[in-house]
């Protein structure tokens, strides 16, 4: 099978925070804070670390792919036939932090997963905002 003609889709979400990149980074990388906005986990911000996210419907297996503290985080996201990558980019702004989340790897035959991720990430980011504000 070749990749020619294969269209993979991505879910892209962006948020602005009044808090510094350091505070947003903490919520993205400390396992007890991740559990508050995303899922129970055994995350460590170390390249090569394999971790599991525990959802009500099952587990997501992940591997940390890249870490640049307070700037960039990327990990694989594998569950129920979806093999994707989640990337977080933090940019310092005059009034806080711009956060961009991209999940890539949705095939044309994964419409349900794509729609679920589109809605799910909106909810997760709403909760992330609360966690960042609560731990300001």
Confirm whether 82 is domain-assigned.
Answer: yes
Confirm whether 115 is domain-assigned.
Answer: yes
Q: Give the tens place of pLDDT for each residue, 74-117.
A: 999 999 889 999 999 999 999 999 999 999 999 999 999 999 99
Whether the predicted pLDDT of 5 surpasses 70? no
Task: Write the CATH number for 119.
Answer: 3.30.530.20
Confirm whether 23 is domain-assigned.
Answer: yes
Give the whole-angstrom CA distance, residue 49 versus residue 24.
21
Whether the predicted pLDDT of 3 surpasses 80? no
The pLDDT assigned to 2 comes to 41
Q: Give the tens place of pLDDT for each residue, 57-72.
A: 889 999 999 999 999 9
Q: In the predicted model, what is the mean pLDDT of the chain?
A: 93
Q: Give the tens place of pLDDT for each residue, 24-42.
A: 999 999 999 999 999 999 9
Give the whole-angstrom CA distance, residue 24 versus residue 130.
11
Residue 74 gets the label, from left (phi > 0), alpha (psi -120 to 50) or beta, of beta
Verdict on whether the full-model pTM lies above 0.85: yes
What is the residue range of 105's domain? 12-134
Confirm whether 7 is domain-assigned.
Answer: no
Annotate 97-136 with DSSP letters as a single string: EEEEEEEEEE-TT-HHHHHHHHHHHHHHHHHHHHHHHHT-
Number of domains into which the chain is organized = 1
Give the whole-angstrom CA distance, residue 88 versus residue 79.
19
Give the whole-angstrom CA distance, residue 107 versus residue 25.
30
Confirm whether 16 is domain-assigned.
Answer: yes
Confirm whether 80 is domain-assigned.
Answer: yes
């Amino acid at each position: 099978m070749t990749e020619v003609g294969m269209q993979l889709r991505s879910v892209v979400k962006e948020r602005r925070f009044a808090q510094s990149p350091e505070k947003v980074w903490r919520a993205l990388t400390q396992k007890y804070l991740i559990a508050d906005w995303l899922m129970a986990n055994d995350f460590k911000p170390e390249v090569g670390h394999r971790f599991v996210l525990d959802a009500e419907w099952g587990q997501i297996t992940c591997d940390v792919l890249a870490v640049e503290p307070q700037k960039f985080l990327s990990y694989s996201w594998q569950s129920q036939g979806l093999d994707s990558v989640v990337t977080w980019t933090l940019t310092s702004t005059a009034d806080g932090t711009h956060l961009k989340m991209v999940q890539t790897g949705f095939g044309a035959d994964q419409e349900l997963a794509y729609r679920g991720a589109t809605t799910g990430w909106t909810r997760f980011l709403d909760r992330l905002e609360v966690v960042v504000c609560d731990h300001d």
